[in-house]
């Protein structure tokens, strides 16, 4: 039986997924990374050269099979039966995810999937519109931020650790562009829900952020 949902929204690189993973582990609940769903659409769009046209993408999407599976506390993503869990983390797939996430048909297609998983599982979901759109009645809502410099530094370290040859200024410019697109799109733009608790993670470790969130969960509703 589902007990509660925790919604964590915020811009790229604020530490949402690291914190959400920690929270899920500490609380013994499920973690749904909703960005992975948009990245999977982005990967398909990139591979097949999709145009950002709602009617066209709507048709192409209905012939595309996107699945999230959970085992051993890990979320794996499948695109038309292929395991793309690692592929969606590479290169500019996130950028494709961001661009195609602005299309109404993409948001509509992924909304039901997210709500279904949340309705069936005590879980933490991270994304851009969880507290405002996907789960407006989530028991706990957080908006996690950090300066663009800090977020770029974190993303840079992450990509370098994966062996990608990246440039810090380029990473920062990409993050700023993605923020702008995610915050200004017409449907479900990234914004803090009125009843979300805002946490600035610039000078906090992921562990500290997770503990701060857990204190809200232990004390009752944050939203
Ligand atoms: O969290 P992420 O970087 O993996 O997300 C990739 C892109 O997907 C992000 O730039 C915007 C989009 N996204 C979204 O629009 N709504 C969500 N709930 C999650 C991600």
Q: What is the pLDDT of residues 9-40, one digit of tens each?
A: 999 889 999 999 999 999 999 999 999 999 99
Residue 136 has pLDDT above 70, yes or no: yes
Q: Are 206 and 18 in contact (CB under 8 A)?
A: yes
Is any ligand 1 atom within 6 A of the Cβ of residue 38? yes
User: What pLDDT does residue 220 have?
Assistant: 79
The rounded mean pLDDT for the chain is 95
Which residue CA neighbors atom 15 of ligand 1 most closely? 101
Is any ligand 1 atom within 6 A of the Cβ of residue 127? yes
Residue 223 has pLDDT above 70, yes or no: no
Residue 87 has pLDDT above 70, yes or no: yes
Dist. CA 195–CA 143, nearest whole Å: 10
User: What pLDDT does residue 222 have?
Assistant: 65
pLDDT in tens, 162-182: 898 999 999 999 999 989 999
Question: In this structure, what are the phi and psi dihedrals at residue 35, rounded to the nearest 5 degrees?
Answer: -60, -30
Which residue CA neighbors atom 12 of ligand 1 most closely? 98
pLDDT in tens, 37-83: 999 999 999 999 999 999 999 999 999 999 999 988 899 999 999 99
Q: Are 159 and 132 in contact (CB under 8 A)?
A: no
């Amino acid at each position: 039986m589902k007990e509660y949902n925790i919604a964590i929204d915020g811009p790229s690189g604020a530490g949402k997924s690291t914190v959400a993973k920690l929270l899920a582990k500490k609380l013994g609940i499920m973690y749904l990374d909703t960005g992975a769903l948009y990245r999977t659409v982005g990967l398909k769009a990139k591979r097949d050269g999709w145009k950002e046209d709602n009617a066209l993408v709507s048709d192409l999407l209905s012939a595309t099979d996107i699945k999230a599976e959970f085992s051993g506390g890990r979320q794996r993503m499948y695109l038309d039966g292929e395991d793309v869990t690692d592929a969606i983390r590479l290169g500019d797939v996130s950028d494709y995810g961001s661009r195609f996430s602005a299309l109404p048909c993409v948001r509509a297609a992924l909304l039901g999937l997210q709500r279904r998983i949340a309705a069936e599982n005590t879980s933490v979901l991270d994304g851009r519109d969880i507290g405002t759109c996907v789960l407006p009645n989530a028991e706990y809502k957080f908006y996690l931020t950090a300066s663009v410099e800090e977020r770029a530094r974190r993303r840079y370290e992450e990509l370098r650790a994966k062996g990608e040859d990246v440039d810090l200024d380029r990473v920062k410019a990409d993050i700023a562009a993605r923020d702008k697109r995610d915050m200004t799109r017409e449907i479900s733009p990234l914004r803090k829900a009125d009843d979300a608790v805002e946490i600035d993670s610039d000078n906090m470790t992921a562990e500290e952020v997770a503990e701060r969130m857990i204190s809200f969960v232990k004390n009752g509703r944050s939203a």
